[in-house]
C-alpha cells in the first residue's frame, strides 16, 4: 500500500488520539498499512464489542491509554514520541449522551482540543495537525442546501455545539500561533479541521447510532426500533472521510501553507437518504429482519443535514467513491463476518482487504 499518498506516511511517526474508537481504529489500521509508526493515545475502547479488540489492533500499534483532558500526560507523550503528523479524533462523540453529560462533552471536545493544540505548540517535530470535528459543527438552520466551510458554526445540542466550539478554537490557534504567513519563520505547523457526516462501516457499536442499533437488534433476531424515520443524513462509508483526512494530511505535509483550513468530506447527493431507507437497505443485506417506529418523545435531532463538498473536490481532488448501496453492502458484510465468529486474525486480514479494495477503486493522484 506504500505508494498511495506518494509514500508520505511511510516510516513517519503519526500520533492518533481516539485510536480505540470506531474511526480511529480504521485510521490506525490504514496508516499502519501505509508504513507509518502509529502512536495511539486514548481512553480504552468506548464500547463492548469494539473494532480495536475485534481485530487485535493493540498488538499492531503503540497503544497508550490516556485522557485528552490530562494536558501534562498528553504533552509528555508528544515529547516522547516526537510525531510529525497528528490526527485528533478523541471525543465524546454521541449526541444523546451529550444531553446527559454536557460538562464532560465540553471538557473532552473543547478543552481536549485545546490541550492537543498546546501539545502541538510545545513539540517541534509536528508538521501536520488534522482535527476531526463534525458536520454537526454548523449552525443548522434546517435548510435543504449543503453547508459550506464558510457557513457559521453553532449547534443545538451540547455535542454539536462542542464541535462548533472546537472549530472556533482551531481557527483562533491557526491565526494566532500557526498562521500560514508565519510558516517556516515562527512555526512549522499546518493545521486543518475536517467535518464529515454520519459515518457507517464495520466495527461501530456506538450507543444510539443507527447501524449499531440495527446490528445489535438483528444479531439477536429482535425488531429494529427507529426514532426519526424521515430524518436525512449525509451517510458515508468510513473509508471515505478517512481517505480525505489522509489526502489532506499528505498535501499539508508537502505544502505547509496552502491547505491549512476547514474541509468538508461528505457523500454525493444521491447517497443522502432517510433513516428508514437506510434501515431497509441494512435488513436487505442482513438477509432477514424487520423494523418498527418508536414514536415516544426524544431529545431534539435535526431533520436535515447536508454538506457541500465542492471545495474538497475542486482544491484537493477528493471525491466520494462508494455510493450508499455499496457502503451498506460493505458495512453489513463486515458485521456478518464478526457475528458469524470469524477469528481475529482473519477479521484483521478481511479489514485490510477492505482498505485495499477501496484504494483500488480510488485511482488517486494528487498534486
Ligand X SMILES: NC(=O)c1ccc[n+]([C@@H]2O[C@H](COP(=O)([O-])OP(=O)(O)OC[C@H]3O[C@@H](n4cnc5c(N)ncnc54)[C@H](O)[C@@H]3O)[C@@H](O)[C@H]2O)c1
Binding status of residue 134 toward ligand X by CB under 6 A: yes
Stretch that binds ligand X, among 22-30, 211-219, 287-295, 317-325 (CB under 6 A): 22-30
**Contacts of ligand X in 112-131 (CB under 6 A):** 112
Taking CB under 6 A as the criterion, the residue among 8, 14, 15, 24 binding ligand X is 24
Stretch that binds ligand X, among 13-21, 175-183, 293-301, 319-327 (CB under 6 A): 13-21
User: Among residues 77 and 316, whose Cβ is nearest to ligand X?
Assistant: 77
Q: List CB contacts of 119: < 8 A, sequence separation 6 or more.
A: 71, 74, 75, 77, 78
Binding status of residue 27 toward ligand X by CB under 6 A: no
Q: What is d(CA 171, CA 159) in angstroms, rounded to the nearest whole number?
A: 19
User: Among residues 123 and 264, whose Cβ is nearest to ligand X?
Assistant: 264
Size of the site for ligand X (CB under 6 A): 26
- 292's grid cell: 418498527
Binding status of residue 311 toward ligand X by CB under 6 A: no
Return the SS3 of 267. Answer: coil
Q: What is d(CA 306, CA 135) in angstroms, rounded to the nearest whole number?
A: 8
Taking CB under 6 A as the criterion, the residue among 8, 29, 54, 68 binding ligand X is 68
Q: What is d(CA 95, CA 82) in angstroms, rounded to the nearest whole number?
A: 33
Question: Cβ-closest residue to ligand X?
Answer: 21
Binding status of residue 42 toward ligand X by CB under 6 A: yes
Binding status of residue 234 toward ligand X by CB under 6 A: no
196 bridge partner residues: 265
Taking CB under 6 A as the criterion, the residue among 8, 15, 21, 358 binding ligand X is 21
CB atoms within 10 A of CB 137: 26
Binding status of residue 271 toward ligand X by CB under 6 A: no
Stretch that binds ligand X, among 20-28, 122-130, 144-152, 271-279 (CB under 6 A): 20-28
Binding status of residue 308 toward ligand X by CB under 6 A: no
User: Among residues 27 and 180, whose Cβ is nearest to ligand X?
Assistant: 27
Give the shortest CB-136-to-ligand X separation in angstroms.
7
User: Among residues 303 and 343, whose Cβ is nearest to ligand X?
Assistant: 303
Check residue 221 and report its DSSP letter.
T
- State how beta strands 232-233 and 273-274 pair: antiparallel
Q: Which helix (H) or strand (E) holds 88?
A: strand 85-88
Give the shortest CB-269-to-ligand X separation in angstroms.
19
Binding status of residue 199 toward ligand X by CB under 6 A: yes
The reply to whether omega before 49 is within 30° of 0 (cis) is yes
Return the SS3 of 63. Answer: strand
Q: Which helix (H) or strand (E) holds 325?
A: helix 324-339
Binding status of residue 69 toward ligand X by CB under 6 A: yes
Q: What is d(CA 73, CA 172) in angstroms, rounded to the nearest whole number?
A: 24
**Contacts of ligand X in 75-104 (CB under 6 A):** 89-93
Binding status of residue 22 toward ligand X by CB under 6 A: yes
Give the shortest CB-179-to-ligand X separation in angstroms.
25
Binding status of residue 193 toward ligand X by CB under 6 A: no
**Which residue blocks in 177-219 are alpha helix, DSSP H?**
210-219
Binding status of residue 196 toward ligand X by CB under 6 A: yes
Q: Tell me which residue of 46, 52, 194, 185 sits closest to 113, measured CA to CA.
A: 194
Backbone angles phi, psi at 354, to 5 degrees: -60, -40
Taking CB under 6 A as the criterion, the residue among 5, 15, 23, 32 binding ligand X is 23
CB of 87 closer than 8 Å to CB of 126: no
- 185's grid cell: 519563520
Binding status of residue 243 toward ligand X by CB under 6 A: no
CB atoms within 10 A of CB 128: 28
Binding status of residue 158 toward ligand X by CB under 6 A: no
Contact footprint for ligand X (CB under 6 A): 18, 20-24, 42-43, 46, 67-69, 89-93, 108, 112, 132, 134-135, 196, 198-199, 206
Amino acid at each position: 500500500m506504500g505508494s498511495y499518498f506518494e509514500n508520505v506516511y511511510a516510516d513517519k511517526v503519526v500520533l492518533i488520539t481516539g485510536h480505540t474508537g470506531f474511526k480511529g481504529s480504521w485510521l490506525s489500521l490504514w496508516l499502519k498499512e501505509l508504513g507509518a509508526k502509529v502512536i495511539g493515545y486514548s481512553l480504552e475502547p468506548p464500547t463492548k464489542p469494539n473494532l480495536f479488540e475485534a481485530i487485535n489492533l493493540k498488538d499492531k500499534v503503540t497503544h497508550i491509554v490516556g485522557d485528552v483532558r490530562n494536558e501534562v500526560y498528553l504533552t509528555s507523550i508528544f515529547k516522547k514520541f516526537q510525531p510529525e503528523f497528528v490526527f485528533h479524533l478523541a471525543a465524546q462523540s454521541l449526541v444523546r449522551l451529550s444531553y446527559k453529560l454536557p460538562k464532560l462533552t465540553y471538557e473532552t471536545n473543547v478543552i481536549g482540543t485545546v490541550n492537543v493544540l498546546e501539545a502541538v505548540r510545545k513539540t517541534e517535530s509536528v508538521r501536520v495537525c488534522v482535527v476531526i470535528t463534525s458536520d454537526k459543527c454548523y449552525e443548522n438552520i434546517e435548510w435543504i442546501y449543503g453547508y459550506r466551510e464558510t457557513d457559521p458554526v453553532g449547534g443545538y445540542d451540547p455535542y454539536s455545539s462542542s464541535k462548533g466550539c472546537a472549530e472556533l478554537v482551531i481557527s483562533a490557534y491557526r491565526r494566532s500561533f500557526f498562521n500560514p504567513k508565519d510558516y517556516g519563520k515562527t512555526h512549522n505547523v499546518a493545521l486543518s479541521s475536517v467535518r464529515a457526516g454520519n459515518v457507517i462501516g464495520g466495527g461501530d457499536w456506538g450507543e444510539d447510532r443507527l447501524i449499531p442499533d440495527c446490528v445489535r437488534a438483528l444479531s439477536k433476531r429482535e425488531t429494529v426500533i427507529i426514532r426519526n424515520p424521515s430524518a436525512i443524513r449525509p451517510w458515508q462509508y468510513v473509508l471515505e472521510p478517512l481517505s480525505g483526512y489522509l489526502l489532506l494530511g499528505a498535501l499539508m505535509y508537502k505544502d505547509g501553507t496552502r491547505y491549512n483550513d476547514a474541509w468538508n468530506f461528505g457523500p454525493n447527493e444521491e447517497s443522502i437518504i432517510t433513516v428508514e431507507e437506510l434501515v431497509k437497505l441494512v435488513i436487505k443485506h442482513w438477509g432477514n429482519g424487520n423494523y418498527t417506529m418508536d414514536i415516544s418523545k426524544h431529545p431534539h435531532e435535526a431533520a436535515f443535514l447536508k454538506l457541500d463538498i465542492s471545495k474538497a473536490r475542486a482544491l484537493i481532488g477528493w471525491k466520494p467513491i462508494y455510493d450508499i448501496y455499496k457502503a451498506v453492502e460493505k458495512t453489513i458484510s463486515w458485521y456478518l463476518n464478526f457475528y458469524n465468529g470469524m477469528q481475529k486474525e482473519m477479521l484483521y486480514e478481511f479489514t485490510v482487504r477492505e482498505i485495499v479494495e477501496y484504494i483500488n477503486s480510488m485511482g488517486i493522484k494528487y498534486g
